[in-house]
Amino acid sequence: MYDHKIIDRDVVSLSYNGDWIVEKFEISQKPYEFTIKLNAEGKNFLLLHADDMGRQPPATIALSYKYKGKKEVIILNSDTVKSEVIEIVVGQ
C-alpha cells in the first residue's frame, strides 16, 4: 500500500479479518509491503481507517496486489468518521 495522488502525511490503520496489520502508520510514496493468507472458505475483509487525513482529506491509499500472477490496484478512501472495507471471497 502507498499514498495515492498527493503525498500529504496521511496516517492510517489497516485491519485484516479483525487483526491489525498496521496501526497509525504514516503512508508515503514508498510502498509498505505485507502478505495476507486468505481463508479458503467464506469471506475475508480488509479495512482501511484514517487516523489523520494529512493536509488534504480524505486519506487515499493505493493497494497493489498480486493474485495468481495477476497484478491489480485498488484505491481506498477514508476519513476519521468513515472507513472503507474490501470483501474478498475465495472460490467463486
3-class DSSP state of 17 = coil
The single residue listed with the C-alpha cell 474490501 is 86
The domain segmentation of the chain, as residue ranges, is: 2-89
**Can you give the pTM of this predicted structure?**
0.85
Question: What is the DSSP secondary-structure string of 26-78?
Answer: E--SSPPP------SSSEEEEEEEEEE-TTSSSEEEEEEEEETTEEEEEEEEE
Q: Distance between CA 27 and CA 39 in Å, rounded?
A: 27
Per-residue pLDDT tens digits for 29-65: 999 999 999 888 889 999 999 999 989 899 999 999 8
Q: Is residue 91's pLDDT more than 80?
A: no
- pLDDT 10s digits, 6-34: 899 999 999 999 999 999 999 999 999 99
